[in-house]
Structure 1
Amino acid sequence: MTSILDVGDAQLAYTDAGSGSPVVWLHGSGPGATGMSNFGGNLPAFEDYRNIVIDLPGWGQSPRPQTDEPLIFHAADRVRRAMTALGIERAHLVGNSYGGAVAMRIAMRYPAHVDRLVLMAPGGVLPANAPPWPVGLEHLFAYMAAEKPSREAMAEFVRLMVFDESLATEELIDERYASSLRAHPELPIPPNFGDLTPDLAGIGAPTLLVWGREDQTVPLTWAPKILEGIPNAELRVLPHCRHWVQYERAPEFNHIVREFLQGGAAAASEE
Structure 2
Amino acid sequence: MTSTVDVGDAELAYTDTGSGHPVVWLHGSGPGATGLSNFGGNLPAFADHRNVVVDLPGWGRSPRPATDEPLIFHAADRVVRAMDALGVERAHLVGNSYGGAVAMRIAMKYPERVERLVLMAPGGVLPPDAPPWPVGLEHLFGYMAAEKPSRDAMAQFVRLMVYDESLATEELIDERYESSLRAHPELPIPPNFGDLTPDLRLIGAPTLLVWGRDDQTVPLSWAPRILHGIADAELRVLPNCRHWVQYERAPEFNHIVREFLRGGPAAAER
The two structures have a TM-score, normalised by structure 1, of: 0.99
Question: What SS does the aligned partner of 1:266 have?
Answer: helix
Deviation at 1:18, TM superposition (A): 0.3
Question: What SS does the aligned partner of 2:156 have?
Answer: helix
CA distance in 1, matches of 2:160, 2:11: 31
What's the CA shift string for 1:220-248, capped at 9, x where partnerless? Answer: 00000000000000000000000000000
Is residue 2:83 matched to residue 1:76?
Answer: no
Give 1:1-271 correspondences, 5 Å limit.
1-264=1-264, 265-267=266-268
CA distance in 1, matches of 2:132, 2:35: 29
CA distance in 2, matches of 1:39, 1:223: 22
CA distance in 2, matches of 1:236, 1:170: 30
Q: Percent of counterpart pairs with the same letter?
A: 86
- Report how many aligned residue pairs link the two structures: 269
What's the CA shift string for 1:108-134, capped at 9, x where partnerless? Answer: 000011000000000000001100000
Gaps of 5+ in 1: none
What's the CA shift string for 1:55-78, capped at 9, x where partnerless? Answer: 000000000111000000000000
Aligned partner of 2:150: which letter?
S
Question: What SS does the aligned partner of 2:141 have?
Answer: helix
CA distance in 2, matches of 1:58, 1:25: 16
Question: What SS does the aligned partner of 2:94 have?
Answer: strand
CA distance in 1, matches of 2:38, 2:151: 19
CA distance in 2, matches of 1:101, 1:65: 20
Deviation at 1:39, TM superposition (A): 0.1
Aligned partner of 1:246: which letter?
Q
CA distance in 2, matches of 1:267, 1:195: 31
CA distance in 1, matches of 2:183, 2:260: 34
Aligned partner of 2:267: which letter?
A
> Please, what is the CA RMSD of the aligned residues?
0.6
CA distance in 1, matches of 2:228, 2:193: 21
Question: What SS does the aligned partner of 2:148 have?
Answer: coil
Aligned partner of 2:214: which letter?
E
The two structures have a TM-score, normalised by structure 2, of: 0.99
Gaps of 5+ in 2: none
Deviation at 1:10, TM superposition (A): 1.7
CA distance in 1, matches of 2:113, 2:92: 9
